[in-house]
Structure 1
């Protein structure tokens, strides 16, 4: 009921931090539902307005840049997404410090952008550093820590370290199931990627069993036509698909 209003309201009229957060969360919801183009257009409008009115270092501007970077990435503009995340990370490090949770969420997402541009070693290095810091600052079971661990497992697999990726993926899935629940979309992303690693290691039956369970849950939670549902369906059709990064939420 609220979504059409949040997408239509003039961002110049939104003057409170709470108001800005509600509109950003609406856009993040659209991204999670696979409506990246709509979210990108709205986030660009919000970012341009608040950058001009609040300045580049304002929390409202930085969080909007953070969300816009994901929208850019989801619409295949990986270079722009990387540039925006790099700028946000530099500002957050200066304003908040290296180990602040918000700095670390940006670092984790920047690793995704680097990997999307083929800079896999750099992405792995940044992911490992970020995971070490998040485990120390937030703990092993914090959702942000688990997202970084999930993404690092992808980097390891991309670099041919499939056994290490499988080990980290299994540990992350166990923790996500316990912390978030069996049907949480983040849990299902880790399950889908673990199925791909199992298949790559020749454990085809285990991969198929996990993939079929993930498909059933995604159909129920996300719907038949969600991009993530279609990804695991393609995997089961051919037992091979692209792994899925997991952005840390805004």
Structure 2
């Protein structure tokens, strides 16, 4: 099986490296193209057997499954470039949340999947959010999910929940890192603790908390209750955050959804207005 990657930015290169390092695939089974040649050059230097092509068409011709890892507004140009060389047996995988499955099924002759990865997949952890088009078979789904199991936990979701599941799974690491960064900075400012020490403590805390919430049998609610003693220091801190952060997370979801809708409207216009011309 050969996998192709069109776009080797942050997520494209992450997936390539994760598949190779997990030994799910060998480098010679992977091909890639990118409009910025320095990015593919660096991957080639690290993985000499990786096949690098100057054009997206060559990647499409050489691959059973093609991951398209470009920005939303670049997507239409890519599929216009490759659609005439694609076969019904091939699978195109979008990793871009506002690109809907219907957009691709309306434009392409092949099978369509949408898979939203997470930066946590780099450490063979976290989820991969899986959505499938009408043409894709159960065998195709199993093939993709078998690959993804080497770097993540594949979860099938409804496309209508793309944004909120991505908020938690894919954006969540950045949101959590923001919290940790501010927690550490405040600790340094208020107490003088060395930043390196506070960062290490916070990082180990997050790692341990993740294990408690996955293999440790805790839920967020039961973990909070276990740590917080009524009238204690933790309880006082939770009370303060509950007051100060009231509504913040609702507003966070509203903000990400508003941006998603903005991008989706631009993409709808790009896909369907251009098809009328």
TM-score, scaled relative to structure 2 = 0.29
Higher strand share: 2
Return the index of the structure with the highest Cα Rg. Answer: 2
Higher helix share: 1
